Amino acid sequence: MSESTYRAAVIGLGRMGSTFDDEIRQGGQFFMPYCHAPTYVASPHTELVAGADPHAEQGAIFAERWGLEDKQIYADYREMLEAERPDFVSMCTTARLRASIMIDAINAGVKAIWAEKPFTLSLAEADEVIELAARKGVAIAVNCSRRYNVFFTEARRMVEDGELGEILQITAYTRCTLSANGSHAIDTMRYLAGGDVEWVFGEMESDEKAAGDEDLMGNGYMVFDNNVRGFLRGTPTGAAQWEFDLIGTEGRVRSLAQGMETQYYRWVPGGPRGRNLPARAPFPLPTTIPSMGPAVIEDLVQCIDTGAPPRCSDEDGRKALEIAIAMRESHRQGGRRIDLPLPDRSLRLLSSETANDSVPARIRRLSGQ
């Protein structure tokens, strides 16, 4: 691993860029540090050298919090890229601008991008960013954070080591609009199933929402190329909040209540006709619990050194978006199976996080919007 310290900059100095970790008081879904600025400050690989945000007050708060000088804060991210020449850049703006900022950052010569989700709004944008990043050899990690969470990485290890047998089913009860937090839900399903989605069926919350481009809730059925089947409930889930259920022939892992509990089941002798019973066993933990933000940095440093793709890559970001759009297409086409990839690359989902994004989310929250 490289011994050098990388220069890191954050673009978009709001919640994910700076303050998200303040909201979290219990471990499980996240282990701290998690969001961008606190991670760059804590990581032995990086030094936080700059921030960029068109809203001056956001910059002032950020500089104060993370000990930067006024001149390290830029209103224009292009100026920042030019002046600071960062190695790492974090994309924490509204998703509306993400693709164009990623393109500018790649062209400015960054080594690695740590991007918030959703990756982009349209498939065409995703294609363009991925093509450019591949050509310029820039690693892009998308912050679908469960890939950097110990319970999910252990579950995936169990899949790869065959401890769950052949994987049959992944179910997600994850109330979400399909782009905003659906990116997390769909990416996690792909990560746990360890296969790729060949076709989907979807039902959206209404015909009206399905006809438009605005982000929306919906449910879907997914067919993976390794024969796993997925069921996603993104419509309201009541007393089953953010849950993943991974079922194999030999074992099962359930992540419950927004990741606050993870359960492991395996066969024991017994049952009404001696056909055995699934019994709950302790979930196997590794000997260290990694912080999630620093785990992304470790991953990206390795990508810079070896050229390997990140654990949650730009390709993964595009696939989550494409699956969400395909579920909506299924509804639009009267409830029919939709094969991937989608030929129409102009299709897009206006992630719900882009609503009212001309005002920083902090201000919107203060004014009760």
**Which one, 318 or 331, has the nearer CB to other proteins?**
331
Binding range to other proteins, per CB under 8 A, among 38-46, 109-117, 132-140, 244-252:
244-252
With CB under 8 A as the contact rule, the residue among 67, 272, 282, 368 that binds other proteins is: 272
With CB under 8 A as the contact rule, the residue among 203, 213, 214, 315 that binds other proteins is: 203
Under 8 Å between Cβ of 86 and 300: no
With CB under 8 A as the contact rule, the residue among 110, 126, 133, 164 that binds other proteins is: 164
Q: Give me the residues paired with residue 214 across strands.
A: 350
What is the SS3 assignment for 251? Answer: strand
Please report how close the Cβ of residue 323 comes to other proteins at its closest, in angstroms: 16
**Which one, 67 or 334, has the nearer CB to other proteins?**
334
Binding range to other proteins, per CB under 8 A, among 95-103, 126-134, 228-236, 288-296:
228-236
* Six-digit token string for 36: 């961008």
Instruction: Look up residue 169 and give its amino acid.
Output: Q
Q: Does 231 sit near other proteins (CB under 8 A)?
A: yes
Binding to other proteins (CB under 8 A) within 86-105 occurs at: none
Measured at the CA of 259, the angle between CA 253 and CA 157, to 5 degrees, comes to 40
Q: Which residue has the tokens 């206006």?
A: 350
Q: Does 15 sit near other proteins (CB under 8 A)?
A: no
Tally of residues, the chain: 369
Under 8 Å between Cβ of 170 and 244: yes
Q: Which residue has the tokens 């991670």?
A: 39
CB burial of 4-36 (b: ≥16 within 10 Å; e: otherwise) equals: eebbbbbbbbbbbbbbbbeeeeeebbbbbbbbb
Phi, psi of 110 (to 5 degrees): -65, 155
Binding to other proteins (CB under 8 A) within 292-321 occurs at: none
Phi, psi of 256 (to 5 degrees): -115, 155
Q: Does 23 sit near other proteins (CB under 8 A)?
A: yes
**Which one, 109 or 335, has the nearer CB to other proteins?**
335
Q: Does 28 sit near other proteins (CB under 8 A)?
A: yes
Interface positions with other proteins (CB under 8 A): 23-26, 28-29, 164-166, 168-169, 171, 173, 199, 201, 203, 219, 221, 223, 229, 231, 233, 235-241, 245, 247-252, 256-258, 260, 265-267, 271-273, 275, 277-278, 334-337
